[in-house]
Amino acid sequence: MKTTQLAVVWPIPELPQNTNQIHQEIWTRTANLLKPGLGMLFDSFYPASRAWGIPLNAFGVLLGRDAPAACMGILAAASEVRDAAIDFHIKSLLAGVNPDQMWTTGDAIICPVYLDGTDKELEAHSLWQFCFFSGIPVPDCGIYYAQQQRSLAGPEQIKTIASHLAGYAVCVAMLEIREDGESANDD
């Protein structure tokens, strides 16, 4: 199994002040967010005990109000993972597309892709792009902003989160993905 980390950023102003209750509520929200992808995008998920070298509690939660520096460290590391995933999937997708068939519209590059089952790698990178840009949390995207329902946040959103960390929590889930050739019975 391949394992990846996904940091989910949650606003927490309406939650109780009891830290343990907040941890439980944030993990419950994260689990509910991830359940639709179970069996399709990944095979299992559970709370991370550490994320990018930073220790977490039993629910994989870190509150910005309690550990702002550690929270910012996780956000930075998760954003780097996201940026690397975008770069990898875009380069891999473009490598399988006929450049003569591409065109631009504004700042967007349009790449027609035919998903007829003959090129599994091209199909996988195309579907990753679709899921990622549709706001579906994909396993290797590193970070997901729950309030915005996407893995990308604009500079103003990032600035708002950084300047109001006390109002946010980060929950890190470990996502397990079966690698090619593995079956469910290999566990």
Q: Any idea where the domains of the chain sit in the sequence? A: 2-85+142-186
d(Cα 143, Cα 78) in Å, to the nearest integer?
5
**Alpha helices per DSSP H over the chain:** 19-34, 68-95, 120-133, 155-163
The pLDDT, as a whole number, for residue 17 is 75
From 52-56, 85-89, 111-115, 164-168, the region with the lowest mean pLDDT: 111-115
What pLDDT is stored for residue 183 in this prediction? 47
Confidence of residue 94 (pLDDT cuts 50, 70, 90): confident
Residue 180: band (very low, low, confident or very high) from pLDDT cuts 50, 70, 90: low
Q: Measuring CA to CA, which residue among 80, 93, 24, 12 is closest to residue 52?
A: 80
* ∠ Cα 85 116 83 (to 5°): 5
- Read off the DSSP letter of residue 75: H
Between the two ends of the chain, the Cα-to-Cα distance in Å is 9
The rounded distance, in Å, linking the Cα atoms of 6 and 136 is 12
Question: Is there a contact between 128 and 138 (Cβ–Cβ < 8 Å)?
Answer: yes
Examine the pLDDT at 32 and tell me if it is beyond 70: yes
